[in-house]
Amino acid sequence: MKRLEYTRRDFLKALSACTASMALPWIPGHAATGKPPNFIIIFCDDLGYGDLSTFGHPTINTPNLDRMAQEGQKWTNFYAAASVCTPSRAALLTGRLPIRNGMCSDKRRVLFPDSAGGLPPSEITIAKALKTKGYTTTCIGKWHLGHLPRYLPTRHGFDSYYGIPYSNDMDRVAGEGRQAFFNPKIEYFNVPLMRDEKIIERPADQTTITKRYAEEAIRFIKANKRNPFFVYLAHNLPHVPLFVSKDFKDQSLRGLYGDVVEEIDWGVGRILDTLRQEGVAENTLVVFTSDNGPWLTFMQHGGSAGLLRGGKGATYDGGMREPTIFWWPGQIKPGIVTDLGSTLDLFATISHLAGAKIPRDRVMDSLDLEPALFGTGPSPRQTMFFYRGAQLYAVRKGLYKAHFITKPAYGSNLQETRHDPPLLYNLGHDPSEQYDVARDHPDMIADILREVERHRATLTPVEDQLAKRIGDNP
């Protein structure tokens, strides 16, 4: 065996390092540079739980997201707060269930170009919270929280905005029936591309939109790397109609849908590479997730929820459990996290890491995920409420999920079904929600019903923002 020899210099160097580590205890978010951490949220549209190779897809190649998961944390029980676009985005940015601020409705499930409502000015977004601590903030991509000036990102704490203000299938002006979605052209959808509060391109060239969003994020990072920053990058895709740039067209074994996801993956890789090159990777928390599950009615143009049941529009897990990755080199220990988490929790987690105050003048649904992120304890989230519109359909507590009302995903004409007693699934044993175990666990049903009572006691009536239309009588 070769003998290891140490010099006096080696000893003093090791002693110095040990002493320094004892004098300067590790503080999450400040260990690398002593500066407040930066934050980037990359939010996809209609991406399914099974649509990344790191989450099990056999033919969609996502090497950058795979590497992000290997270097960071893959969360396997992470939920959006709604199964459709508008309420899901409102929940992420405010840390509040949409039922609390009128951003969900039984009349219209999302905002449209003729909508008169939007995220109320009284709401505090992650961007507003971070502005109190000197952050520079930008929103890139799909907003869908109100396209009228008073509701735009620049009125909700973002210093700048670049993107399409609602879904990419809106403002349709041409195309025959569903073929307009299966064989889309740019000119079929007269959606505007905005810079701050001005339209700069219409119709937006959606074949280059994913690439341009990534490039916009990269420019922002380079320009603001010396100061704390927040990037909210909300892709319009892979929501139908599907568009992809020429560099990615016909490249995926999964077809056009795979091409779109692989281009998003490329953009993620470019952003992470930029953080490394600019020397801010170890001071930047990046979160990748999606707003809701796949739009199953569009068949091969929609994604896959993997082994989960249902998809977009439904409160089965396929509609709201999302493929989620947290990445923060040198700060969080890589691994797979099976604890519960939600997009709702990004508000509290980010605010606490930045030293910003959590609002105390309103009910918050956001919990700080730092214990699970940094390995100091379990996630504080034990319960998740599943709304469809303004109706509570299901509740998860621990491993068990009770369904009071069920209705299939978007695209089905089937009516809702009410369950008394509720259906009950053990999501640890049965993540596909196939086997009702209610008869064996009446105590768990009673426990969940008590959670419902406590939750409903915190609700107060609010104005329905999604039902209001331009031109309606006041």
Q: Which helix (H) or strand (E) holds 425?
A: strand 417-426
> What is the rounded CA–CA span in Å between residue 410 and residue 313?
5
Q: List the catalytic residue out of 44, 57, 104, 144.
A: 144
- Distances from the Cα of 39 to the Cαs of 90, 162, 172, 232, 275, in angstroms? 18, 18, 35, 8, 11
Measure CA 303 to chain center.
Answer: 16
> What is the rounded CA–CA span in Å between residue 414 and residue 288?
33
The answer to whether 18 is a known catalytic residue is: no
Q: Are 240 and 225 in contact (CB under 8 A)?
A: no
Q: Which helix (H) or strand (E) holds 400?
A: strand 400-406
The answer to whether 144 is a known catalytic residue is: yes
Task: List the alpha helices (DSSP H) in 44-84.
Answer: 63-71
- Distances from the Cα of 287 to the Cαs of 44, 65, 106, 290, in angstroms? 11, 11, 30, 10
Q: List the catalytic residue out of 44, 57, 85, 156.
A: 85
CA-wise closest residue to 280 among 347, 222, 236: 222
Taking every pair of Cα atoms in the chain, the longest distance, rounded to a whole number of angstroms, is: 88
Residue numbers annotated as active site: 85, 144
